[in-house]
Every structure is written in C-alpha cells, then in structure tokens.
Structure 1
C-alpha cells in the first residue's frame, strides 16, 4: 500500500515555510477565492441590473469553503480544464445559482484575480517579517555601535570599523528591500473583469452595449476584492511584468539575506560573532566540537533559490505573445509560490538569527591586537614628527621594524611584536608614553559610532514606525527543524 512517504513533498512546505504563507498558496485558499470572485461578480452584476437574486448569492456564500476536491479532480480529468471543473462542481452544490456562476467571465477572471489577491496577502505577510529583522538588527547595532572590530576589504584586514556599524550595512540593504516590497504592494492592482482578450466584449453583450455599466462593473468588483484600482488595460491576463517586478523585489531581498548571512558565516569562522546555538544542537556527526552556522547556511541556500527564480518571471513575461500564451501557467505555479515560500522561510530563519546573535569581544580584541600595530604606523610617524622627528627617517625606521615583525608573524607563526620593537628602539623614546593612546582601537573607528546613532534615528526609525503593531506583537522565533 502506498504511503504519504512515497510521493514528493516540497521541503518548503514540509520543513521551512510558515503555515500562514503555505495557506496563501494552498488549494483551499485558491478555490475558495475563486468562489468569492464568482460571488462578487454576481453581486456587482445584480447591482447593475442583471436578473440575479439574493437567494442565488446566498446559496453560493454558504458553499464558499465547502469544496469537493475529489469531485473537482474527477471533473478536471474529463474536461482537462481546471476552471470549468470547479464551475461544474460549484454549480452542482448551488443548483439555484448554477445559471449565473461565472456569467460573462473567462478563466483568467478567477485565475489571475486570485493570483493578485494571493500576491497582495503574501506581501502583507512578508513586510512585517522584514521590519522585524530590521528591528532586531537595530537593537544589535545600538548595543555594539562603539565596539571596535577589524574592517575587511578584499577579505583582508583593513581599517577598523565597529560591530554596530557593520550591522548597519545589513540594515541598509534590508531597508531598500522593505521599500521595494512596499512599492510592489502599493502599486498592485486588480485585473477585474476584462473578458477573454481584455476588451470586455462579453460584458458588453450582457449589458446590451452599455459601456458605462461595464466600466462600473470592473470597478465595483475591484472594490469588493479590496483593491483601489483595476489595471486600466490587460490582454487575457494581467501583464506578467507585474510578476517580474514582484519576483525581482524578492530576488533582491535574497541578495541581501545571502550577503548578511555570508558575513555571519565568515565571522563565525573567526569566532567573533555567532548565530544562536541550542544546548542540544549537533554541529557535526563526526566532529562533536563543531558549531556550524546552519541557520545562516540555510538562509544562503534559500536566498540563492530566490535569486534564481526571478529569471523565470523575466523569461515568462518576455515570451507572452500578443494577448497571452499558456506557457506561463505551469511556470507560474512554481515560480510565484516558491519565491514567496522561500522568502518566508529565509526571513523566519533570519529573524531567529537576529534575535540571538552572540558577540565575543575578547576574540575581536585579540584579532585587532594582531593587526593594529601595522595600522598604527602612520599615527606613530605623525606623533614623532610632532615631537620634532624627521618624517623620512621615521618612515624608514618603521618600515624596517614592520618587516621584521611581519616575518615573526608569517614565517614563525608568532604574535605581532611591532609595538615591542618600537618600545625597545631608542629612536622612539620621545613618544613611548603616548603609545597606549596611539594604539587605542577606538581612535581608529572614525565616526562609526555616531554614524550608527544618526542612521538608526534618521533612516531606520521612520520605517519601523509603519510597523508598530507588528513589532509590538513580535514573538521569539523558534526553528522546529
């Protein structure tokens, strides 16, 4: 006997994405939304004068959630048409309303409009998640805004920054993602009632050529569905350029998540910053001591999928011939759902990470001590010049000592002893009492701390103010797998 373990299951549903996001792309939500759309169409047509009764509408309303999935599947096997299969099943459940179900509409009336409702609701789920991550990182940045750490360019030690300032780089990218997703949400419209090729010809017949009533029908159904405006013109479908914009924003979010989590993986390798690690968590089956950054790795894996799915949307739009071709259908069943489910899963994991980041200041301090002597050479030269020394002579002295210290580090694997070499060279006697100040790591971070304060107040807080309710009710995320 076949079991549920013998068929394919998407890891997005079985392991990663939230129940809320899964519901948006569920069969139950899809087909109950189709029924709502048929009800809204009937209500609007009745309001504009067609012979539709309250009893017919009430009969449909009683069966919105009562979907006979086996019967619909059997009908689809016969008709090879998913919309007509559900029209037939709904009509059998609503015999009184059967004559007016789907009246004047084409398949894309329910298909495309449902997709737009799902896209809207899914964006409404993602945006507070992005804001929650930003909120947690804001608190992290504020707490560590003055903690010096090695900056890196070319993945080589560079001028110091602070832990909080680095976190602000992650926040900056996420702010751009919030803006892009919010614009997609605000710009989203409804397909409305446009007919088979977007001309509304079938509705013109229903309303005896009354174009004003047909236009009113379009706007009335749009309002019933909770949208402000319909798209002014469509072919058989709403333009797949809409999908390009939305999946483009999700792909861009994927790049931000991947960049941040790649940074965390590097920092974890250096033992400077770690993601949460549970007391019972196993890092490696063979190496018990390991604390692998599995959450960040998962985020990177999901983010890569988000990035690549965008090409599906772009290629689908590019190949929509004239008023439409059907080669978008199977592709969009995959690309829309997987983009949002991947984004949802990645953001939940990222929120879990952001709520429990651990910093190891002593390790960071040790790493700074290994590199700061080389970085401080210019300051030592300037201090000597102020004390009356010759810059060129001082430069040569420092150059020789630096190479000697570098050899100790690279060839012998010893600690950087440049400072001790300076202390032991009589030439630098005039500034020996200044060395501690010259080597204070905080003097090498510039305005990093002030930049954090300014950025959080001027750029971050205004965005977070739009999500006060969501942030107030934010819960601690626990990963089940």
Structure 2
C-alpha cells in the first residue's frame, strides 16, 4: 500500500523554508495577522519589556542601597550617588531599545541565565559611565551592589508586577472601559425600543433593546471595577524569603523595613511572607476577574449574533468588503464570531495562569517561569476580542419594524399581565377571579391568539372597569414595565 501522505521529491524541493524568511514570520496570530491591534501590549508584556523592568528594578535597588538613611547608606561604605549618576542609571532603562535588546540576548547566550544577563548588562553600563559622566563618577565602584543579596525571583516578581500593572492600567482597562461605555450608550439610545424577550428560546415577557444591553453593560462595568481595585504584590527578601544573605552581609539593618519601603516605592503592595517566590495569589485573583469579564463579553457576543440571525439587528455593510466567496448577498457577523473564539482562548490561558501560579513545590519550582511568559497572549486575545466587539457594534442598526412584527405576532405573552391583574383583583375582593393562572394557561399555552381574542377574554372576566380598560389598551409592544426607567436610573 503506497504512503498517500508522502509528497514527491520535486514538490518538496520547490517549497521555500518559511522559517528562514527574513524578517522572521510570526508563528502565532497575535504577532502576525492581528499585530496592529495588540501592539500596545508589547511595551508591557513582551520578553523585551520583562528585561526592561528587570533593569528598572536593579537600577532602583542599586540607588536605594546607596541612598540609604540619614545615618548613611544601607550598605556601609557604599559611595553616595550624585544626581548625575542617578540620571545616567535611569537613562539605561529609558533608552533600552533595539540595541540593548540585542546586546542582552548576546550576553544571555553566554550566561544561559536571563537575570544574570541583566546584571552583567548593567555592570557594563557602570563601567562605561566615566566616558559620559567623567572620571569623578563613582558608578564603576558600585558594581558589586548590582543584584546585592537578591535571588532572581526578587527581581522577577517585581518586574512582572510592574509589567502586568502597566498592561492592565495603560492598555486593557482603557479598552474595556471604552467598550462598556459604548454598550451603555447603545442601551440609552434604544432604552425605549420594545423587543420580545425569549426565555429558553421561547417568546416571553417583552423588554426593550436598551434594557437588555444595559444588563450587559452593568455586568461588565462591575468586573472593570474589580480589575481597577486589583492589588499588585511584590517582595524582596532573598533566596527563601528569610533575608539570610542580607543579614549575613549587613546584620545591623532593619531589612524588612528596607524591603517594604523599596517595594512600596515601586507602587506595589509589599508581601512580608514568601518562599523564594512571591506567591502569585494576586495574579490568580486578577486573571480570574479578567476571565469573568471575558465570559460576560462572550455572552454579549453570542446574544448579538443570535439577534442578527433573527434579523432584529441589521449589519451595515462595509464598502468593498466581502461576506462570502460565493454568496454575494451575505454580511456575516464575523466580528462577534472572532470575539467569541478569542475570548475562549484568553479564558483558557487565564484559567491556566490562575490555577498554575498559586502552586509551587516547597520553596520553589520553575513552573511559574514559563507560565508567566503567556500573560501577554492571555491579555492579547482579550484585547483583540474587545476590539472586534467594538467594531461589530458600530456596524449594527436595530430593525425596529421586525421587532414590532415579532411582538405583534405574540399576543399570548400578555397572559402574564392579565393573570397578575386577576390575582390583585381577587385579593381586593372582586368575585370571579378564581384560578387566574389556569384560565390564562388554557387560553394561551401552545396557541397563537390575537389582540381581539385577548380583549374579548378580558371583557368577559368581570374585572373593575379601570383594570379592564388598562388591560384592553395594552399590547405586547407596550408591556415593557419599567425597562426604560431602569436604564435611566441604574446605568
């Protein structure tokens, strides 16, 4: 039996090796097809961003060790840095770009250790300082204070906290807030547009388009507030969280106080009790909240998709766009379908991050290291979904006429209103109001009735005149309760 999957040799040799194409081709869609949408996250959650934050932490730790207290530097004998020295050091972080990235990668190929490469990179800059600041600079003499008493995780945990904080506050939250306000604006715009609701997929009590959108905006906004209130924890306490190296080197210093001041000076919350790693509980909490936002947004995407399928929402065609390669009439809800898929991928990554990061074998294992390198894709797929939903919503129009037809074809939904009025009348002492639910069930369940049928039924009930008139004037389109008011009052 010949191997049907084997290609002829000439066919094989005719193909270019895409892995060797320059510039390199992205393996994943976030760095390829969707690069423009997620590019803002690169400044925060890429490998280069990680190394820049590591440099930031190392530089600030070096400055803290030499600044010290009114009694002198934290490490006795350390020289005092001048303002020019500090400006120079902080410029190492600010100027970290293509050349620095390439140089650090070269160093790491030799060290085979990413944090050690950062240390050596910074020491090179200390050695080179006299060429820029003059021979009076003390920076070449403080090389051994770089990474002083630190384990790699002292630098890494602070770097990741700063990275994630930057990504959330500067990129993800602004996009999420803009989406929520867009939904809220649509809710207000359509607050009074009646729509037949469907529970279990069946016609149910009427609502309004705006009220249904307001529910989703309210839910999403609540999750945004949770993310806004997230804590970003950090630690700097040595190889197993005991300050062992710190105390051995400088026993007279209150190292927990130094650590607390340093971590809080970075804008983070200090974690006083850890193993070698910061425990990552804050990350798990944050990612669970972002995943919940994703899932609510997924609910919006599937509902809007369904309303489009029913014709309740019309899609505004984009000039020049193609809906189908063979069916020219089609305008497909691709923005909402794309969002669904990306939200599912984001949630899968966020769930894995949340579950994996809270566990570390005894004092340390490396599962968190590779796991945290997927924070960027997790936020990237969420950001991409937010962008797709926003663009999809901009291209929607409410089909008011079809909504009205749908309502007019389902007069039986007023059965709820009539039997509730009968119950109230019965309590008020009106005779003949027995078994209201059962009587409406007999009239309406599984049957289509029209306005005349319902008005005839109401007229024969013996209700007080004002109640009978109120029910006779009601239509499915007017039976929306306080829907419009709820949007105005609570959104």
User: Which interval holds the TM-score relative to the shorter structure?
Assistant: 0.7 to 0.9
Q: How does 1:63-462 map to 2 (within 5 A)?
A: 63-64=92-93, 65-66=95-96, 67-95=99-127, 96=140, 97-124=142-169, 125-184=171-230, 187-191=231-235, 193-206=236-249, 208-212=250-254, 214-227=255-268, 229-274=269-314, 277-334=317-374, 336-371=375-410, 373-377=411-415, 406=447, 418-419=450-451, 437-456=472-491
Q: Deviations over 1:150-173 (max 9, x none)?
A: 111111111101111101110121
Q: Distance in 2 between matches of 1:306 and 1:231?
A: 28
Question: Conserved in 2, the CA contact under 8 Å of 1:142 and 1:453?
Answer: yes
Change in Cα spacing, 1:8 to 1:201, as seen in structure 2 (3 Å) is same
Question: Conserved in 2, the CA contact under 8 Å of 1:72 and 1:86?
Answer: yes
Partner residue of 1:465?
Answer: none
Q: Distance in 1 between matches of 2:308 and 2:323?
A: 13
Q: Distance in 2 between matches of 1:146 and 1:438?
A: 18
Displacement of 1:393 = 13
Q: Deviations over 1:437-471 (max 9, x none)?
A: 54523431112122222212xxxxxxxxxxxxxxx
- 2:55 counterpart of 1:35: yes
Q: Distance in 2 between matches of 1:393 and 1:216?
A: 74
Q: Deviations over 1:330-363 (max 9, x none)?
A: 12211x2122222222222333344454211001
Q: Distance in 2 between matches of 1:236 and 1:256?
A: 36
Change in Cα spacing, 1:103 to 1:391, as seen in structure 2 (3 Å) is closer
Partner residue of 1:413?
Answer: none
Q: Distance in 1 between matches of 2:295 and 2:393?
A: 17
Partner residue of 2:9?
Answer: none
Q: Distance in 1 between matches of 2:403 and 2:212?
A: 14
Displacement of 1:122 = 1.6
Q: Distance in 1 between matches of 2:408 and 2:22?
A: 57
Aligned residues: 435
Q: Deviations over 1:207-238 (max 9, x none)?
A: x21242x23421332244233x3112222111
Q: Is there any run of 5+ residues in structure 1 with no aligned partner, and where?
A: 407-415, 457-481
Which deviates more from structure 2 when the two are superposed, residues 267-276 or residues 141-150? 267-276
Normalised TM-score (structure 1): 0.80
Q: Distance in 2 between matches of 1:182 and 1:337?
A: 19
Partner residue of 1:44?
Answer: 64
Q: Is there any run of 5+ residues in structure 2 with no aligned partner, and where?
A: 1-16, 128-139
Partner residue of 2:81?
Answer: 54
Displacement of 1:89 = 2.8
Question: Conserved in 2, the CA contact under 8 Å of 1:59 and 1:94?
Answer: no
Change in Cα spacing, 1:62 to 1:132, as seen in structure 2 (3 Å) is closer
Displacement of 1:109 = 2.2
Q: Distance in 1 between matches of 2:356 and 2:422?
A: 66
Q: Distance in 1 between matches of 2:352 and 2:154?
A: 23
Q: Distance in 1 between matches of 2:220 and 2:415?
A: 37
Q: Deviations over 1:223-276 (max 9, x none)?
A: 44233x311222211112222111111111111110011110000001112465
Q: Distance in 2 between matches of 1:4 and 1:75?
A: 23
Q: Distance in 2 between matches of 1:189 and 1:175?
A: 24
CA RMSD of aligned residues (A): 3.4
Q: Distance in 1 between matches of 2:107 and 2:324?
A: 50
- Ranked by relative contact order (alpha carbons within 8 Å, sequence separation 6 or more), the top structure is 1
Q: Distance in 2 between matches of 1:39 and 1:232?
A: 22
Which structure has the highest helix share of the two?
Answer: 1
Question: Conserved in 1, the CA contact under 8 Å of 2:357 and 2:371?
Answer: no
Change in Cα spacing, 1:389 to 1:223, as seen in structure 2 (3 Å) is closer
Displacement of 1:85 = 1.9
Partner residue of 1:463?
Answer: none
